[in-house]
């Protein structure tokens, strides 16, 4: 490595989706609309759960945490992108880029953890209904969320500190609309073997572990539902976890699609476009999935706006 080619960097440049000036207002309007829908939609879910006493249950406690994390997840990337479009600047400081990586990893992994915790909650509710209130007590629910936060914070801190040990050369253009960890590693001049090792180990442990837990929970749920005699009973039982299952499928399918598409095309711009699905679209759709498929949420929203619920 030629040390003369290295420089003490102060900023990177986010290339975004397009360099064409005519497309910038369209991109700005589209992402601003999606961001506002995401924030207000998730805030309404949090408000409904906080105000309505009938929603003060473990399932909705976890849902309110998921909605909060979705707001933070989207806020990590979109406001900076909108600011850059508005100011016609592509720059992001080195400190800003490391900070963005930290919070992006934190909230992405926290999403995975909360979805696995919600799957466990549905498993207990369906497979052990008589012991549900005893097992899913407020102390355990709070502990599950606290442990999720602590583990995600430590992982995110480790990944960010590992980035600080890297040196970068003169090519500082990131073909993305945010500082994505893998893209940053490809720009580094120094050896990234240890960084890649930690990144993939964390992905398997903190991504694959919760996913395995979700699969196990739903295998037990399906087995329990199959034991119900009546078709109406099966439908009623399954409907209690339909919203969560929809969110799980949406989140994992979009994330899997991102990495499969990027691996197939080897195009960073294609990867950036595909990343919109799990960083923007999924958090935006979650409130709609829960409000449209969940009778309790719909009833709570109607009571808040003063509509009589029959």
Residue 139 pLDDT grade (very low, low, confident, very high; cuts 50, 70, 90): very high
Is residue 127 packed enough to be buried (19+ CB in 10 Å), middle (13-18) or exposed (0-12)?
Answer: middle
- Categorise residue 22: left if φ over 0, alpha if ψ from -120 to 50, beta otherwise: alpha
Greater confidence, 103 or 234? 103
Residue 182 pLDDT grade (very low, low, confident, very high; cuts 50, 70, 90): confident
The pLDDT assigned to 188 comes to 86
Contact 101, 159 (CB under 8 A): yes
The pLDDT assigned to 209 comes to 92
Which ranges of the chain does DSSP label H, i.e. alpha helix? 24-51, 58-75, 78-87, 94-127, 132-135, 138-164, 181-187, 193-202, 209-226, 231-239, 242-265, 268-276, 282-293, 295-304
**pLDDT tens figures, 16-62:** 777 777 888 998 999 999 999 999 999 999 998 998 888 899 999 99
Q: What single-letter DSSP state applies at residue 98? A: H
This prediction has a pTM of: 0.89
Give the CA count within 13 Å in the CB-facing half-sphere of 123.
Answer: 14
Is pLDDT at 137 greater than 80 in this prediction?
Answer: yes
> Tokens 């034991």 correspond to what residue?
227
Instruction: Please list, residue by residue across 100-123, b when 16 or more beta carbons sit within 10 angstroms of its beta carbon and e when fewer do.
Output: bbbbbbbbbbbbbbbbbbbbbbbb
Q: Are strands 91-93 and 173-174 parallel, antiparallel or unpaired?
A: unpaired
Least trusted range by pLDDT, from 108-122, 207-221, 236-250: 236-250
The pLDDT assigned to 8 comes to 55
Please enumerate, as own/partner, the contacts of 31-38 that have beta carbons within 8 Å and a separation of 24 or more. 31/78, 31/81, 31/82, 31/280, 32/82, 34/78, 34/280, 34/281, 34/284, 35/74, 35/75, 35/78, 35/79, 35/82, 35/280, 37/284, 38/70, 38/71, 38/74, 38/280, 38/283, 38/284, 38/287
Least trusted range by pLDDT, from 88-97, 173-182, 297-306: 297-306
Is residue 290 packed enough to be buried (19+ CB in 10 Å), middle (13-18) or exposed (0-12)?
Answer: buried
Residue 268 pLDDT grade (very low, low, confident, very high; cuts 50, 70, 90): low
Q: Does domain 10-304 have CATH number 1.10.3720.10?
A: no
Residue 6 φ/ψ, nearest 5 degrees: -85, 150
Q: How many CB atoms lie within 10 A of CB 185?
A: 15
**pLDDT tens figures, 221-265:** 989 888 877 777 777 777 778 888 888 888 887 777 666 655 555
Q: How far is CA 259 from CA 54, 202, 252, 253, 254, in A?
A: 40, 16, 11, 10, 9
> Tokens 């209130």 correspond to what residue?
133
Residues β-bridged to residue 173: 13
CA distance 109 to 153: 9
Least trusted range by pLDDT, from 141-155, 158-172, 242-256: 242-256
Domain parsing of the chain, residue ranges: 10-304
Q: What single-letter DSSP state applies at residue 77? A: T
Q: How far is CA 137 from CA 69, 112, 124, in A?
A: 22, 22, 12
Question: In what order do the strands lie in the sheet containing 173-174?
Answer: 91-93, 11-14, 173-174
Average pLDDT over residues 146-150: 97
The pLDDT assigned to 270 comes to 61
């Amino acid at each position: 490595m030629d040390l003369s080619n290295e420089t003490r960097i102060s900023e990177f440049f986010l290339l975004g989706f397009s360099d064409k000036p005519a497309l910038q207002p369209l991109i700005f309007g589209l992402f601003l609309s999606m961001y506002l829908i995401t924030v207000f939609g998730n805030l309404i879910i949090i408000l409904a759960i906080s105000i309505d006493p009938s929603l003060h249950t473990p399932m909705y406690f976890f849902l309110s945490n998921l909605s909060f994390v979705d707001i933070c997840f989207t806020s990590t990337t979109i406001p900076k992108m909108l600011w850059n479009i508005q100011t016609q600047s592509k720059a992001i400081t080195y400190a800003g880029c490391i900070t963005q990586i930290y919070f992006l990893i934190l909230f992405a992994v926290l999403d995975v953890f909360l979805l696995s915790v919600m799957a466990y909650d549905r498993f207990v509710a369906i497979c052990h209904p008589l012991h549900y209130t005893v097992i899913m007590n407020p102390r355990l629910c709070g502990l599950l969320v606290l442990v999720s936060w602590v583990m995600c914070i430590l992982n995110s801190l480790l990944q960010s500190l590992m980035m600080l040990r890297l040196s970068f050369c003169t090519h500082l253009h990131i073909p993305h609309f945010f500082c994505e960890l893998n893209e940053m590693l490809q720009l580094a001049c120094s050896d990234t073997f240890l960084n890649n090792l930690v990144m993939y180990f964390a992905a398997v442990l903190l991504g694959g572990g919760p996913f395995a837990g979700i699969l196990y929970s739903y295998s037990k749920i399906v087995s329990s539902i199959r034991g119900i005699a009546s078709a109406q009973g099966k439908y009623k039982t399954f409907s209690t976890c339909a919203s969560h299952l929809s969110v799980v499928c949406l989140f994992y399918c979009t994330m899997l699609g991102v990495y499969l598409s990027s691996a197939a095309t080897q195009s960073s711009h294609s990867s950036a476009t595909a990343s919109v699905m799990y960083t923007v679209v999924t958090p935006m759709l979650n409130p709609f999935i829960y409000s449209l498929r969940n009778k309790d949420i719909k009833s709570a929203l109607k009571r808040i706006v003063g509509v009589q619920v029959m």
